[in-house]
């Protein structure tokens, strides 16, 4: 694994862009992808060895298909507990070396483009699909998921 040794930066943002790296079936209770955990561990260790401090983003617009099918992504609040379990897995596996966490990348943009405007798939709540949901449903559930992850971190890992 190659990590830049250019010391122009003192930090590096690691985006676990695909929850699939860690939980391929969408839920921690369905099993953890040890290869994904090992990959992230190796990358974090390499960053630290190069003197770079990792900042980890746990969600960047991509969910396992199982969660898309079950919850229509963030449209239903049931996803909050699964996201909390996933975040806790990240804190448990990487928290001894990662001190800076970003739960969700740009939740407003995710909700607006994916649900309201139809710019990003699946455009579920866009006016041209005329479904009984709003981008606000997704935004609210993302905020609840963020709060749940924050609560776990503050009570168990900080």
pLDDT in tens, 48-84: 998 888 888 888 878 888 888 888 888 889 999 999 9
pTM for this structure?
A: 0.84
Structure tokens at 17: 């862009």
The pLDDT of residue 151 is 98
- The catalytic residues are 106
- Which region among 92-96, 106-110, 152-156 has the lowest average model confidence (pLDDT)? 106-110
Task: Give the closest residue to 99 by CA, choosing from 144, 60, 52, 146.
Answer: 52
Q: At what angle do helices 79-94 and 34-49 cross, to 10 degrees?
A: 50
């Amino acid at each position: 694994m190659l990590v830049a040794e250019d010391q122009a930066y003192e930090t590096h943002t690691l985006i676990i862009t695909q929850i699939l790296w860690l939980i391929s079936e969408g839920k921690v209770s369905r099993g953890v992808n040890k290869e994904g955990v090992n990959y992230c561990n190796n990358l974090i260790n390499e960053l630290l060895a190069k003197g770079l401090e990792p900042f980890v983003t746990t969600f960047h617009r991509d969910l396992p298909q199982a969660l898309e099918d079950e919850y229509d992504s963030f449209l239903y609040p049931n996803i909050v507990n699964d996201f909390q379990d996933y975040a806790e897995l990240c804190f448990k596996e990487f928290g001894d070396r990662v001190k800076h966490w970003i739960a969700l990348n740009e939740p407003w943009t995710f909700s607006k483009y994916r649900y309201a405007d139809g710019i990003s798939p699946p455009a579920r709540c866009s006016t041209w699909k005329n479904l009984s949901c709003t981008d606000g449903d997704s935004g609210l559930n993302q905020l609840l998921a963020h709060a749940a992850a924050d609560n776990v971190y503050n009570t168990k890992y900080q």
